[in-house]
Amino acid sequence: MNLITTPTAPIAGQRPGTSGLRKKVEVFKQPGYLENFVQSIFYALEGFQGQTLVVGGDGRFHNDVAIQTIVRMAAANGFGRVLVGQRGILSTPAASCVIRKHAAFGGIILSASHNPGGPDGDFGIKYNTGNGGPAPEKITEAIYANTQRIARYLTTDTPDVDLGTQGSSQVGAMQVVVIDSVADHADLLASLFDFERIGALLRGGAFRLCFDAMHAVTGPYAHEIFIRRLGAPAASVINGVPLPDFGGGHPDPNPTYAEDLIKVMFASDAPDFGAASDGDGDRNMIVGRRFIVTPSDSLAVLAANAHFVPGYAAGLKGVARSMPTSAAVDRVAEKLGIRCYETPTGWKFFGNLLDAGQVTLCGEESAGTGSDHVREKDGVWAVLFWLNILAVRGESVETILRDHWRTYGRNYYSRHDYEGVDSAAANGLVAHLRESLATLPGQVIDGATIASADDFSYTDPVDGSVSSAQGIRIGLADGSRIVFRLSGTGTEGATLRVYLERFEPDPAQHAVETQKALAPLIALADRLAGIKARTGRDAPTVIT
């Protein structure tokens, strides 16, 4: 092996967002672009000589090429061993699991998550630390600083490694081990859930499951877990073959993009339980027969029913949700007598709480739920959690939700996304809101009294670090709220997210359709932010 030191220069725009660096494939294909970022990761780390690095991705276009580059650079930089998922495949939660199980120094995950893939689609990269979780801001900021002053990167002249076959080979002094992409993760999940009971439910014939892998990374995981280990009929998994362009789809499990699943679940002969996952397998959508579960509600239901699941029967230490996520889980935590933490958007903020043993379950309104079993959100885990609850309770998804609302009240909740908005317009909208924050409290607009207005700032309870400007919160006197923030994961223009929440304690009011129940808040959001006028959009791109 010959070490090659390649001169290079900073490339603009390599600032990682909410979950790593996401750009168009054509951007990543520019000579030196990926190399600059990977070397900047390695320069931000200390003490990895001779240690293990985990590498894998969601199988999207360019995954295979990028992995070969990273393997060569890891060898040149002095890693002792690289663990790669077979064919380059590792879902994000599986990567987290592998990092932890094999005590790796860290891992590089190649994914742009729910963003479309293919030659014209998106690509992404992020670094996870030895706890299996996304790097904290301290490290992502150091990576970014390195991209701004990089002058060289290290690589080797070694040929590509064979990623198709499990086994071990050498790249210079570094060992490369191609591992089963699924086994470690499936074993971990089997240790948490009652596979016997879930298996009996799925094999019984009376209960039917439909899992939509959206041609993304969870296909192999779903086959191994639902079909092979739990005995569900093969037809229970749809779109189960990972494709580099996700079959031309948008692997974001929401009612708009998971149209195949919605069609199945709203048909007259709909199965009992439907679920979908995203590009990299960390998100989940839960659907009952003609009944969609709001992700914030799903988190609350998991917390309220955790005692039915073997891995959580001993009780929850605490729960955490991101700020824009509805407060449904807060009500469960109160009843359980445990703490509920409110963090900024992005899974990295849960890591410290999980490591410190302060929380067991975490979740976000964007269809991410997870627990202390790994340090990422975990789509297949959430589906198994639901299946375990359904197997024990023997009730339908809808019955469980209605019962939950009767007990805790209902947090009507919706997110309105305006995608691909002109960046200047989006920034102007947020700047205008920020300027008006001080004057809003006390104002009465269309009969609604504004009680509070701020830009969310978070002090990490474990390490004291402060993250500011995490989203604008407008609280009303009746406890309703509106949150505005700009996405950190998009690649085209800006995405404005408007989060709307209203609590309804009266069960007689729980049958109202969500958008109707939130209509006054939706109108108020536009009055406050001038969404239509500033973005030129009449309606959101996606409503979840």
Cα gap 231→210, rounded to integer Å: 13
Residue 445, φ and ψ in degrees, nearest 5 = -120, 125
Q: Does 93 bind ligand VG1 (CB under 6 A)?
A: no
199 binds, among Co ion, ligand VG1, none (CB under 5 to 8 A by kind): none
Residue 342, φ and ψ in degrees, nearest 5 = -115, 115
215 binds, among ligand VG1, Co ion, none (CB under 5 to 8 A by kind): none
Q: Does 312 bind ligand VG1 (CB under 6 A)?
A: no
Q: Does 114 bind ligand VG1 (CB under 6 A)?
A: yes
Helix/strand/coil for 382: helix
Which x/- pattern over 118-157 shows residues binding ligand VG1 (rule: CB under 6 A)? ----------------------------------------
Q: How far is the CB of 402 from ligand VG1 (least distance, A)?
A: 27
535 binds, among ligand VG1, Co ion, none (CB under 5 to 8 A by kind): none
User: 328 to each of 129, 197, 299, 396, 520, how far by Cα in Å?
Assistant: 31, 28, 8, 20, 20
Window contacting Co ion (CB under 5 A); options: 142-150, 198-206, 282-290, 535-543: 282-290
Q: Does 347 bind ligand VG1 (CB under 6 A)?
A: yes
| Sheet containing strand 444-445, strands side by side | 444-445, 448-455, 472-476, 481-486, 494-504, 410-421, 542-543
Identify the residue whose tokens are 């002109």: 422
Q: Pick the closer one to ligand VG1 by CB: 52 or 277.
A: 277
User: 488 to each of 115, 142, 188, 245, 345, how far by Cα in Å?
Assistant: 12, 18, 31, 22, 9
Q: Does 282 bind ligand VG1 (CB under 6 A)?
A: yes
* Catalytic positions, written as ranges: 113
Angle between helix 183-192 and helix 92-101 axes, rounded to 10 deg = 90
Count of beta carbons in the 10 Å neighbourhood of residue 229: 16
Q: How far is the CB of 541 from ligand VG1 (least distance, A)?
A: 13
| Count of residues interacting with Co ion (CB under 5 A) | 5
Which x/- pattern over 383-422 shows residues binding ligand VG1 (rule: CB under 6 A)? ----------------------------------------
Q: Does 58 bind Co ion (CB under 5 A)?
A: no
| Count of residues interacting with ligand VG1 (CB under 6 A) | 18
Q: How far is the CB of 377 from Co ion (least distance, A)?
A: 7
487 binds, among ligand VG1, Co ion, none (CB under 5 to 8 A by kind): ligand VG1
Q: Pick the closer one to ligand VG1 by CB: 75 or 258.
A: 258
Which x/- pattern over 221-260 shows residues binding ligand VG1 (rule: CB under 6 A)? ----------------------------------------
Which x/- pattern over 98-127 shows residues binding Co ion (rule: CB under 5 A)? ---------------x--------------
Q: Give a three-class secondary structure readout of 447-467.
A: CEEEEEEEECCEECCCCCCEE
Cα gap 399→401, rounded to integer Å: 5
Report which residue's Cβ sits closest to ligand VG1.
Answer: 113
Among 224, 280, 365, 372, binds Co ion (CB under 5 A): 280
497 binds, among Co ion, ligand VG1, none (CB under 5 to 8 A by kind): ligand VG1
Cα gap 57→55, rounded to integer Å: 7
Q: Does 113 bind ligand VG1 (CB under 6 A)?
A: yes
Cα gap 329→231, rounded to integer Å: 32
Helix/strand/coil for 306: helix
Burial of 69 (0-12, 13-18, 19+ CB in 10 A): middle
Residue 83, token pair as written in the block = 């663990």
Among 72, 81, 283, 481, binds ligand VG1 (CB under 6 A): 283
Q: Does 63 bind ligand VG1 (CB under 6 A)?
A: no
Query: Which residues are within 8 A (CB) of 37 and not within 5 positions of it... i.e. 6 or more apart?
Result: 14, 21, 125, 143, 147
DSSP 477: T
Task: Please report, as residue ranges, which positions from 357 to 376 form the binding site for ligand VG1 (by CB under 6 A).
Answer: 364, 366, 368
Contact residues for ligand VG1, defined by CB under 6 A = 18-19, 113-114, 278, 282-283, 322, 345-347, 364, 366, 368, 487-489, 497
